Amino acid sequence: MTYQKVYARLIKDKAKELGFSACGIAKAEFLEQEAPVLEQWLKSGMHGQMAYMANHFDKRLDPRLLVDGAKSVISLLFNYYTPLTQTDKTAPIISKYAYGEDYHQVIKEKLKHLLFYIQTEITEVNGRAFVDSAPILERAWAQRSGIGWIGKNANLINKGSGSFYFICELIIDLELEYDTPTTDHCGTCTACMDACPTKAIIKPGVVDGSKCISYFTIELKDSIPQEMKGTFENRMFGCDICQDVCPWNRFSRKHGEPKFDPSAELLEMTKQEWIELTEEVFNKLFNKSAVKRTKYNGLKRNIDFIISAYPNTGNT
């Protein structure tokens, strides 16, 4: 057995111990197939006001520009699914991923533990940990590492657990045994494309980010276009619609990370309480949450926009 295979097995075992639901490894190299796709996506303006998506084009396609001498990209998945939902079915909806503490901090700590383990228990390496914090095509690397395929909704789907998880990476200068890319298992299903209320999924695997509800409620800093009124299906932060309808998510199981559990106060907020949300309550509810990214005024804008579309019932 080669050292590359032994080291890869040790890393995957440690990842599982730390709570990651999947771990795969790919060779660090230029993403030749993805380059023209990314270029066209940007040229078409599908990134909207997400100007950062056009930055560091070369780094997005070559991890060796992020870590000197990089040999391996270790992709990991961390489950955030919960069957819990907000109790008031007429209340504005928050995406499941933002129910608990900010995933950036929670997962970054686990990644640091994994990198430290590699450096102290396996061999000396140079590397960096990334959690949605650098110009990396995470889904492309995850697919290459064999832990999922990119579905028609452009989310990474894992055959055994669906798509409700965060993707993160370790890029290190150590050669390891590499995994085989996963094949596509969406078949003829178009559930996600049919369900998207803003028709943001323009073709299989391609999402016009500037039409996505998550973009409007999180990324967009200007006023939400009036022509979008009535299309949000009560989503005030993020959107799970294309995941909720995905058949593969019938295999989703509750996560095991207490820091991702929602507070009872959040789940029990009524529609009226969201309408009357104060900055003080916002700061209390989302003290350690990814929702803080919108700031109070941003979330209030979203709530007001949704309510204005359905002033009488709040239903979609």
**Residue positions annotated with a catalytic role:** 132
User: Which of the 8 DSSP states describes residue 46?
Assistant: T
Give Cα separations from 138 to 110, 125, 166, 170, 234 (angstroms). 17, 21, 10, 11, 29
302 neighbors 309 (Cβ within 8 angstroms)? no
| Nearest-10 crossing angle of helices 3-17, 103-117 | 140
8 neighbors 172 (Cβ within 8 angstroms)? no
User: Quick one: which H or E segment has residue 238?
Assistant: none
Amino acid at 171: I
- CA 27, chain centre distance (Å): 22
Q: What's the CA gap between 154 and 46, in Å, rounded?
A: 13
141 neighbors 75 (Cβ within 8 angstroms)? yes
Closest Cα partner for 248 from 187, 200, 179?
187
Question: C-alpha angle 138/139/142, rounded to 5°?
Answer: 90
71 neighbors 89 (Cβ within 8 angstroms)? no
For 23-37, b where at least 16 C-beta lie within 10 A, e where not — what string? bbbbebeebeebbee
